[in-house]
Chains A and B, each alone.
Chain A
Amino acid sequence: MAVEGLGTAYAGGWAIDPTGGPNGTPPTSIWGVPVYRDLHWPAASVGTALVGNFRAVDVFVDGEMRIDVSNESGTRWDQNVTGFRAQTQIGFNATPFYLTGHFQKVTGL
């Protein structure tokens, strides 16, 4: 979102001041709408943003993250190693939220 070229004569200026931008605290907002940066945004979608009513969107998990520890399985005992296994379950389907207009894409950024 930090793109130059918004002046009336293409004189420049930032769409969002990069100082303290989407990663700032508090985050940058546009007319009161907070702007966040996704650190893991897909490379294929660079230049695209999502505008959405994120608070109304549900993501489902099975509960607390589970941690199991073993120093015996496999060759861990022989090699004097401890393995930490973390696991959880996640369920998400964007279709209902997309179909009900909770998201719009902004392209060409």
Chain B
Amino acid sequence: MGGSYRPTDADILRGAGGSQPDSGTPFLKAIMDARRGDPEANSYVKSILGTSAATGQAMVPNNFVAGIAQWASGENIYRQCMNWQSVGAVTGVDVPYDTDAIEAALLQGAYGSNKDVRDFNFGEATATLYQIAQIVDIGNQLLRQSNGAAEAHARRRLGRAFAKAEAVFVSSGTGSSQPLGILQAFTDTSVPSYSTALSSEPRAASRDHRSGYRCA
């Protein structure tokens, strides 16, 4: 530190320290700016991550969440073939469904004539949102010294754990304190069977709205 000028803390926060050849990048200013634009930026300086003490201290890698989501999607086939909707902070979603057969719209007569009016019924089921979570602990020294390998491993484990949980819930969740999966829905005996003609899974077939079954 040669010379007579020593930037104060306020100078550094304003970025003034950056004008001094030995002061380096005004990273504190960058942090302060980030905080202005990002209300969650406190996490920016909260943890000890990164590939080395020089480059990583106190920064949460931006791609951490994206990496987990990528693994979760890759190992959960239902993420790829079903419609995943983000509904925000709610406890459940009501899902209506048709119980009446679709009837063709009728040809209408003269101008001004009454139009065909049809009422229809629908059922409703509730999809309750359940929380899934997992914590992975990693030694700080390993995080710093593994050149990102430990962090990548954490992403992979979390992503695969979430993929497994989601896939199991969708395919075979019991419906008791967890989502009701597809295979479990086939065992639903709360609705009486209306068909004995089919030897396998008659209820699903008889309730296909295309079959003409009408709900009372």
A and B interact physically: yes
Report whether A93 and B179 are in contact in the complex, using a CB–CB cutoff of 8 Å. Answer: yes
Report whether B86 and A101 are in contact in the complex, using a CB–CB cutoff of 8 Å. Answer: no
Give A56's nearest chain B residue, CB to CB. B83
A27 to B84, CA, bound (A): 21
What residues of A have a CB within 8 angstroms of the CB of B143 in the complex? 82
Report whether A81 and B138 are in contact in the complex, using a CB–CB cutoff of 8 Å. Answer: yes
A57 within 8 A of B: yes
Report whether B75 and A39 are in contact in the complex, using a CB–CB cutoff of 8 Å. Answer: yes
Report whether B171 and A101 are in contact in the complex, using a CB–CB cutoff of 8 Å. Answer: no
Q: Mark B69-92 against chain A: 1 for CB-CB distance below 8 A, else 0.
A: 100100111101111111111101
Interface centre among B90, B181, B185, B188 (most CB of A within 10 A): B185
What residues of B have a CB within 8 angstroms of the CB of A62 in the complex? 86-90, 129
The residue from B75, B93, B124 contacting A91, defined by CB atoms under 8 A apart: B93
What count of chain B residues pass the 8 Å CB interface test? Answer: 88
Q: Which B107-122 residues have C-beta < 8 A from chain A?
A: none
Report whether B49 and A101 are in contact in the complex, using a CB–CB cutoff of 8 Å. Answer: no
Q: Which A47-68 residues have C-beta < 8 A from chain B?
A: 48, 50, 52, 54-65, 67-68
A10 within 8 A of B: no
Q: If A89-B129, A101-B209 touch, does A58 touch B85 (CB 8 Å cutoff)? A: yes
Report whether B200 and A107 are in contact in the complex, using a CB–CB cutoff of 8 Å. Answer: yes
A51 to B8, CA, bound (A): 69
Q: Mark B128-169 against chain A: 1 for CB-CB distance below 8 A, else 0.
A: 111111111111110100000000001000100011111111
The residue from B48, B76, B87, B205 contacting A82, defined by CB atoms under 8 A apart: B48
What residues of A have a CB within 8 angstroms of the CB of B80 in the complex? 36
Q: If A71-B140, A86-B134 touch, does A104 touch B201 (CB 8 Å cutoff)? A: yes
Q: Which A16-61 residues have C-beta < 8 A from chain B?
A: 34, 36-42, 45, 48, 50, 52, 54-61
Report whether B168 and A42 are in contact in the complex, using a CB–CB cutoff of 8 Å. Answer: yes
Report whether B81 and A91 are in contact in the complex, using a CB–CB cutoff of 8 Å. Answer: no
With A45-B172, A61-B84 known, 13 other A-B pairs at CB within 8 A are A36-B81, A54-B78, A58-B82, A65-B68, A69-B46, A82-B138, A90-B179, A93-B128, A96-B97, A97-B185, A100-B98, A100-B207, A105-B204
> What are some 25 contacts across the A-B interface (CB < 8 A)?
A34-B81, A37-B77, A38-B77, A54-B82, A55-B83, A58-B85, A59-B78, A59-B170, A60-B86, A61-B85, A62-B129, A63-B88, A64-B86, A67-B64, A82-B138, A85-B133, A86-B135, A86-B162, A87-B132, A87-B133, A88-B162, A89-B131, A91-B127, A92-B169, A103-B186
A contact set with B: CB distance below 8 Å: 34, 36-42, 45, 48, 50, 52, 54-65, 67-71, 76, 79-101, 103-105, 107
